[in-house]
Amino acid sequence: MSITRQDIEHVAALARLALSDEEQQLFTSQMGAILSYVETLNELSTDGIQPTAHAVPMANAFRPDQVAASIGHDRALANAPDKNETYFRVPPVIE
Amino acid sequence: MELYEHTIHTLHQQLKLRQVSSVELTKALLARIAATDPSVNAFITVTSEQALADAAAADARIARGDCAPLTGIPVALKDIFLTEGIRTTCASRMLENFIAPYDATAWARLKAQGAVLLGKLNQDEFAMGSSNENSAFGPVHNPWNRDHIPGGSSGGSAAAIAAQQAIATLGTDTGGSIRQPASHCGCVGLKPTYGRVSRYGVIAYASSLDQVGPLTRDVTDAALLLGAIAGHDPKDSTSVNCPVPDYTAALTLDLKGRTIGLPKEYFIEGLDPEVQQAMQQAIETYRRLGAEFVEVSLPHTSYAVATYYLIATAEASSNLARYEGVRFGHRAKDTAGLIDLMMRSRSEGFGAEVKRRIMLGTYALSSGYYDAYYLKAQKVRTLIQQDFTNAFEKVDLLLTPVAPTPAFRIGEKTADPLQMYLSDIFTIPVNLAGICGISVPAGISDAGLPIGLQLLGRPFGEETILQAAYSFEQATDWHTKKAAL
Amino acid sequence: MRYQPVIGLEVHVQLKTDSKIFCGCSTRFGAEPNLNTCPVCLGLPGALPVLNRQVVEFAIMAGLATNCSITPTNIFARKNYFYPDLPKGYQISQFDLPICLAGHLDIAVGEQTKRIGITRIHMEEDAGKLVHGQGGGSGVDLNRAGTPLLEVVSEPDMRTADEAVAYLKKLYQIVTYLGICDGNMEEGSFRCDANVSVMPMGSDKFGTRAEIKNVNSFKFVKAAIEYEISRQIELIEDGGTVVQETRLFDPAKGITRSMRGKEEAHDYRYFPDPDLVPVVISDEWVDRVKNGLPELPETKYQRFLSQYGLPEYDAEVVTASRTLADYFEQCAQACGNAKSAANWVMGELTRSLNDNSVTIENSPVSPAQLAGLIGLIDKGTISGTIAKKVFEELWKNGGDAATIVEQQGLAQVSDSGAIEAAIDQIMAANMGQVEEYRGGKEKVFGFFVGQVMKAMKGKANPAVVNDLLKQKLAG
């Protein structure tokens, strides 16, 4: 299955990646090749097979409803690229 | 023998008996790093001050009579483990200046024993790669031959052992990223069963495949290090709540009656003749040790790489969505609004391979393609896991090559990503099935490059593969060979 | 052409747990920005979610109270999209296997009951908050990120704004009765999205729907839906087509506006969250929850009718909220006079609570104190009028009714001698009115009652006053 330049643009937008023209071109051909390869899976019949979401069967991993210490402002904001008081700051968002 | 050539278990004795101090040991390793790393590039961050402080504290503790297996032992960690207060980059521009605000559980457990942190190791960016050529901090050079790759993604972790820059290291393995570099660098690398070791504080690549494991000089060290980090972690929902045995107790020599399976799909035409030869010799060694071989089949092997590259990239595309320049990490300058900020921060912060995998994963999950790609891959995964379950009904463990060839040259496979992906064929199925695997040194090519063999065990069958690995190791001398640096 | 509106509602119920759904941070409202955070809810590298068991319990309770089936194996899924208030770049929610399915609620529509279907209920985490005006930018506060939510999705069974409000109020009553939600709509504990469409009357093909997001009061929900219905009808009649879009309600203008600047149709790329394991709910677990459920509004209403003999109106008012019902019941049991307890709760108590903007949980007058007051009335110790004064005293200064009556000498006088004397005095001073009354002007009776009460400082037993006055005035 071939993937078009438009497909690449659409996926890049979904993934919030700004690709250069070169990258778009390169990815279009590389992804096309990879997708053709992964399509070999269609040779296999998987009717009636359950998907495996977890390699080791586990269930019910819970924690009790107890408050544990939060890490505090300093550590929460320590790596913030931009902040205002104790908010993380981003360009204005219009809703 | 130099201090830096020792193992955890021999050093433990010496430290306990106060024949050597942790500070001396740490200084020796720091000097070794300074001397060798300019040509290996295994380290992204060397934490000399911290290391010496840790060592002094360890010595004080030992003086009080408190000496656990890892007390005072200098180790290094793949830069994918969060280490509180210390820069953690995951070999990416995206996290170039990220200071971790908390410790990964695996590191915290070593820290609690008094291990000494030498620094953070180079890797493929976000664990995506098989050659350590995808690092924003330059490639790692194989200490056995600097023009060759060390393997990946835990290239730095393996190279540091081969270059004797650390006594032991931790890496992560998602499709072979501990076992393959261990094989290429002539050291031991263990991928435990999924859920055996906590993933909390390990930067996620593919959540259902990632596992933490040790890279060490010998099998005994691997057993010790595994014992120190394994066990349930309430902070990781996927960590399994079952007891951790004393793995060193499994290290016996007798293999009589052990049945070892040889999956026919792994011993194919096209296997490098030197790898083939190493495997043959290993099989003979095992026969002499009393093991019996049975041919088995893992019929869905040829679909494993495709399955992996759909599941891993899908999970990765989601795991890496948090890197958008808002709360931490690289933020692009002079952006035109929020969406531009996110797009440019991500595009500037991520390298090409990371972008490629995010794109692939996003595509595999997208509307209209989910069933054909992601869901299909999850179903094939069931078949692959079933193959192993069936095989383990007939045999105790499996023996396979680790990589189709010894380490290739730096730059040799970077032009075609698909070619690079296909070289993971022997290691990938293990992660898909969630079982355990270990790579041990089993030969050296004529060109002087190590060749490893892989032993695969049932879920939570680490004792079986450690024993088989130990037995082989003690019957051969591959583990004593050292890279000339 | 007549049009039939079709309404479906999605309600986000914030659960009243102490800690967040996937980490131990506090869920307390109003903390300084980013104070209640940790690597997990901040979405830092390497952090992993662990499910709060209480959230599952609450979800099962909600499912049982709305007649849903409880899914035995349910899983979490990632809903992937980018927004600054969503730290991981995905929301952990449920997609394929939600915890509750196929329930219903019955609402009163005039004299009839109508059944509104509930498609599903699922567990998910709340996002953080964006605030504006942060030095030229917007600020991200992640205190709310990770707060547990239940999303309750109704079938598109409602046909009027009133039905929608009735459904919401019923659902609100249930979740507050269960104690799983604090019901504080101003703080965002109960948020409603309304899906509205219209179709020609008699048709069975639904029209295109618009989604009105985040309406936070019953009043606004009604106004928003009504506006939207007429907007859509007008649009269609003008020859336009309704677009599937997200809209916001503007309470100041009473209109809905299209959300400009928001992304069109997200591709959420749902897939099972590999960091979480399935939640398996056994029959035993469901039974335990079922046996532990508090009495639900409908059952309590019926019980108040039969056990306390309350009239329907009283029973309905008093069971509107669980705290009110509990208050009433404690009071009724303590004083043994349910009707009186209901009257006082619906009357004086509610009035005082409203006037002083106090919730019933914080009422300064306890059920026991009120019961004491009612007891004194029943014994004849005080009159109804005096009782109101005593209530005010209890409200302002606490204490108990009996002590207040004694200290302030408020006990009513039933001694006919004293009352007769007062009556005689007043009649003597008001012969004119006596003549008027005897002449047939019955209204004058009230004047005499008032005068007697005044003379006796309100303490005269009204029944005795009435009897004696009638006798004496009759001549």
Looking at residue C106, its pLDDT comes to: 95
Looking at residue A56, its pLDDT comes to: 81
Reported confidence tier of residue A95, pLDDT bands at 50, 70, 90? low
Distance of CA C183 to the CA centre of its chain: 6
| C117 and C239 housed in the same domain | yes
C135 torsion bin: left (phi>0), alpha (psi -120 to 50), beta (else): left
In a domain, C289, yes or no: no
| C127 and C69 housed in the same domain | yes
| C265 and C175 housed in the same domain | yes
Chain B neighbors of C89, CB-CB under 8 A: 318, 320-322, 324
Looking at residue C327, its pLDDT comes to: 96
| B39 and B142 housed in the same domain | yes
How many domains does chain B divide into?
2
Query: Can you give the residue range of the structural domain that contains B342?
Result: 302-377
| B252 and B312 housed in the same domain | no
The residues in B 150-169 lying below 8 A from A, measured between CB atoms, are: none
Distance of CA C167 to the CA centre of its chain: 12
| C247 and C374 housed in the same domain | no
| C124 and C244 housed in the same domain | yes
| B329 and B242 housed in the same domain | no
Looking at residue C261, its pLDDT comes to: 45
Helix (H) or strand (E) holding A18, with range, is none
CB contact (8 A) between residue A16 and residue B208: no
In a domain, B282, yes or no: no
Exposure string (b/e) for B57-83, b if CB count within 10 Å is 16 or more? bbbebbeeeebbbbbbbbbbbbbbbbb
Mutate to test the interface with B, among A14, A38, A50, A83 (most CBs of B within 10 A): A38
| B133 and B195 housed in the same domain | yes
Mutate to test the interface with A, among C54, C81, C134, C275 (most CBs of A within 10 A): C134
CB contact (8 A) between residue C88 and residue B207: no
Copy the structure tokens of residue C86. Answer: 């969503």
Reported confidence tier of residue C214, pLDDT bands at 50, 70, 90? confident
The residues in A 4-23 lying below 8 A from B, measured between CB atoms, are: 7-8, 11-12, 14-19, 23
Distance of CA B402 to the CA centre of its chain: 13
CA distances (Å), origin B59, targets B16, B68, B118: 10, 12, 16
With a cut of 70, list the residues of chain B below it in pLDDT: none
Domain boundary among B329, B344, B377: B377
| C84 and C105 housed in the same domain | yes
Chain B residue with CA closest to C91: the answer is B318
Copy the structure tokens of residue C385. Answer: 């009028």
| B156 and B39 housed in the same domain | yes
Chain C neighbors of A17, CB-CB under 8 A: none
Report the gap between the CA of A53 and the closest CA in chain B (Å): 7
| B406 and B369 housed in the same domain | no
The 10s digit of each residue's pLDDT in A26-73 is 999 999 999 999 999 999 999 999 999 788 889 999 999 999 988 888
In a domain, C63, yes or no: yes
| B312 and B178 housed in the same domain | no
SS3 of residue B331 by DSSP: coil
In a domain, B476, yes or no: yes
Residue C246 at interface with chain A, using a CB cutoff of 8 Å = no
How many domains does chain C divide into?
3
Residue C31 at interface with chain B, using a CB cutoff of 8 Å = no
pLDDT at C247 over 60: yes
Is the preceding peptide bond at B153 cis, omega within 30 degrees of 0?
Answer: yes
The 10s digit of each residue's pLDDT in C323-356 is 999 999 999 999 999 999 999 999 999 999 999 9
We report the CATH number of the domain holding residue B450 as 3.90.1300.10
Question: What does pLDDT average to over chain C?
Answer: 92
Q: Could you give the CA distance from residue B401 to residue A28 in angstroms, rounded to a whole number?
A: 34
| C336 and C447 housed in the same domain | no
Domains of chain A by range and CATH?
Answer: 5-43 (1.10.20.60)
Domain boundary among C366, C387, C407: C407
The residues in C 421-440 lying below 8 A from A, measured between CB atoms, are: none
Any idea what DSSP says for residue C347? I
* DSSP letters spanning B359-423: HHHHHHHSTTTTIIIIIHHHHHHHHHHHHHHHHHHH-SEEEEESSSSS--BTTSSTT-HHHHHHT
CB contact (8 A) between residue B383 and residue A44: yes
Chain C residue with CA closest to B90: the answer is C45
Residue C135: how many other CB atoms lie within 10 Å: 11
Reported confidence tier of residue C260, pLDDT bands at 50, 70, 90? low
| B63 and B210 housed in the same domain | yes
pLDDT at C265 over 70: no
| C19 and C149 housed in the same domain | yes
In a domain, B284, yes or no: no
| C14 and C89 housed in the same domain | yes
Residue of B324, B380, B417 lying closest to A30 (CB–CB): B417
Report the gap between the CA of C460 and the closest CA in chain A (Å): 58
| C71 and C159 housed in the same domain | yes
pLDDT at C264 over 80: no
Looking at residue B307, its pLDDT comes to: 96
CB contact (8 A) between residue A41 and residue B347: no
Helix (H) or strand (E) holding C80, with range, is strand C77-80
Catalytic residues of B: 78, 153, 177
Reported confidence tier of residue C30, pLDDT bands at 50, 70, 90? confident
In a domain, C290, yes or no: no
Using beta carbons and an 8 Å cutoff, which residues of B are at the interface with C? 81-82, 88, 90, 95, 98, 101-102, 104, 199-204, 206-208, 234-238, 314-315, 317-318, 320-324, 326-328, 338-339, 342, 362, 365-367, 370, 374
CA distances (Å), origin C322, targets A7, C297, C301, C443: 55, 8, 11, 44
Residue of B203, B318, B338 lying closest to C90 (CB–CB): B318
Residue of C46, C80, C88 lying closest to B203 (CB–CB): C46
| B182 and B79 housed in the same domain | yes
Domain boundary among C377, C407, C437: C407
Residue of B204, B339, B342 lying closest to C46 (CB–CB): B204
Residue of B234, B338, B367 lying closest to C267 (CB–CB): B367
Q: Which residue has the tokens 């660098």?
A: B185
Residue B242: how many other CB atoms lie within 10 Å: 14
The residues in A 32-51 lying below 8 A from C, measured between CB atoms, are: none
Residue A71: how many other CB atoms lie within 10 Å: 19
In a domain, B306, yes or no: yes
Query: Can you give the residue range of the structural domain that contains C439?
Result: 416-474
Residue A81 at interface with chain C, using a CB cutoff of 8 Å = no
We report the CATH number of the domain holding residue C466 as 1.10.10.410
In a domain, B263, yes or no: no
| B317 and B230 housed in the same domain | no
Chain B residue with CA closest to A51: the answer is B379
| B85 and B27 housed in the same domain | yes
Percent of chain A with pLDDT over 70: 97
| C121 and C142 housed in the same domain | yes
Chains touching chain A through at least 3 C-beta pairs below 8 angstroms are: B, C
The 10s digit of each residue's pLDDT in C359-418 is 898 999 999 999 999 999 888 888 888 899 899 999 999 998 889 988 887 887 777 788
In a domain, B459, yes or no: yes
Report ipTM (2 d.p.): 0.96
In a domain, C196, yes or no: yes
Any idea what DSSP says for residue C208? -
- Yes or no: say if C455 and C418 are a contact pair by the CB < 8 Å rule: no
| C120 and C91 housed in the same domain | yes
Reported confidence tier of residue C263, pLDDT bands at 50, 70, 90? low
Residue C239 at interface with chain B, using a CB cutoff of 8 Å = no
Residue of A65, A87, A94 lying closest to C140 (CB–CB): A87
Copy the structure tokens of residue C98. Answer: 């939600």
- Yes or no: say if B425 and B172 are a contact pair by the CB < 8 Å rule: no
In a domain, B485, yes or no: no
Domain boundary among C233, C264, C284: C284
| B44 and B127 housed in the same domain | yes
Segment C260-288 mean pLDDT: 87
